[in-house]
A and B are shown apart, each in its own frame.
Chain A
Amino acid sequence: MFRKSRCNQTEDLLSAYVDGRLSIGEQQQVEEHTRVCEACTGELESLRTTVALLRLTPTVQPPRSFVLSERTVSRPVRQSAPVLRWSMGLAVALLLILVSGDVLSSVSLGGVSAPSTRMAQKSAEDRSMAPASELAGEAQSNLRAPSAATDEKNRQYQDPSVAAQRAPLSSTGSEENTGRSEGFPPAGRTDASAQPTADALEGKVRPLPNWDLSALRIAEFGLGALTLALVLMNVLRRRARY
């Protein structure tokens, strides 16, 4: 065991020993060990042979001169990294445009965006506990069709296309999670999102069908995956470069 470790230690030093780059202590260690260890002496000799053979390799005259002309210098050099960087930047920009467009459209169409779903739930719960007369009054002042408000809203909440429009970023519809809102909307919603929904019901804004939203999600996920792949390629390329 001891002998083996001494051999390993010596082997690690042999290359620098051949070059005369060991400290005096290390040099003595190698010389003492190789005096008694035949295997390490053989290793040392074969290493010296290898170095000697490599040093036999002649310097080769270049086949031509590499001096530069003005024309050579003005020619663009092959570079793949900038292309990769630009592609990554473009993908990130497209992703941002797509996501912000998605968020903006959901807000402008009166939908409850995913991040605000929880707040909307809370708001709905609060309103359900408010006095009915007060809420009815608010509803009348805010909605253009106050007389049919409750019935219309019931239809609106039961209609999947309208539901999808209300929560375009939620995965399966916020109604399933709230329980309270499914088929029983809070009377007289007074937040800003209620107004465009009423507009949509009046035909001013056409609600997006479900497949449109799915296509948008697919595009976002696809672009996100592409961006991630480009970022990884960029990182790997930087690390791989010698």
Chain B
Amino acid sequence: MDEQELVRRSKAGDVQSFNYLVEAYQSHVFNLALRLLGDAEGAADVAQETFVSAFQAIGKFRDGSFKAWVLRIAANSAYDQLRISKRRPSTSLDALTSNPENPVDFADGQETPEDHVLRQELAQAIQLGLSSLPFDQRVVVVLSDVQGYSYEEIAEVTKASLGTVKSRLSRGRSRLRDFLMERRELLPRPYRH
């Protein structure tokens, strides 16, 4: 069954059809929320709320990409979550790094304990850097550089023009670069120049 048919059935109230869409996009939604919030638990809440909201509002969905639409809902939910709970990524990251099985870590097979610590610190520095960006720049940087979306897809998610996407991405990357260059000692050796 193609996506349009699933959307059509979902509009008729078929939860099972909608759940196929959930399974297809839940990883995208969760990862976007995770990088926007820096908090795995909050990201899971946002993902759940996103799909409930999407199902309840699917009658308003017209043409275009369902993925872009649901990612936009997720970004809005994450924004609301940040505003309401005033979550600070620093506290969340402390919790993340204290948990050895936390999925936010950069997993990479065999490594020395020293590399493991450095890797965690790098992950923390990147997440802190992302969290230091204004929300509109953060969304664009995460969608582009973490999730690998094209400028056109990002424009569809954010409902912004291509020029705005380029500009937000440029400013976000510059800020993040300055943030990371101030913590150069955390970068992997090939990147410490």
Contact = CB atoms under 8 A, between A and B. Distances in A.
A172 interface: no
A37 B29 CA distance: 42
Interface string B16-29: 00110011001101
A60 B43 CA distance: 11
B120 interface: no
A55 B145 contact: yes
The DSSP consensus for interface residues of chain B is helix
A11 B173 CA distance: 12
Interface stretch (A71-79, A95-103, A114-122, A151-159): A71-79
Given A54-B126, A58-B107, A242-B76, A64 B44 contact: yes
Contacts of B173: 15, 47, 50-51
Interface stretch (B1-9, B51-59, B87-95, B109-117): B51-59
Interface in A27-80: 45-47, 49-70, 72-73, 75, 77-78, 80
Nearest to A15: B170
A75 B176 contact: no
Among the interface residues A15, A52, A62, which one has the most CB atoms of the partner chain B within 10 A? A62
B155 interface: no
A77 B49 contact: yes
A242 B56 contact: no
A67 B19 contact: yes
A240 B51 CA distance: 22
A242 B29 CA distance: 16
A59 B32 CA distance: 10
B146 A55 contact: yes
A81 to B, nearest CB: 10
A12 interface: yes
A56 B148 CA distance: 11
A47 to B, nearest CB: 6
Interface of B: 15, 18-19, 22-23, 26-27, 29-31, 34-35, 40, 44, 47-53, 55-56, 75-76, 79-80, 83-84, 103-104, 106-107, 122-123, 126, 135-136, 139, 141, 144-148, 151, 166, 169-170, 173-174, 176-177, 180-181, 187, 191, 193
Interface of A: 11-12, 14-16, 19, 21, 45-47, 49-70, 72-73, 75, 77-78, 80, 240-242
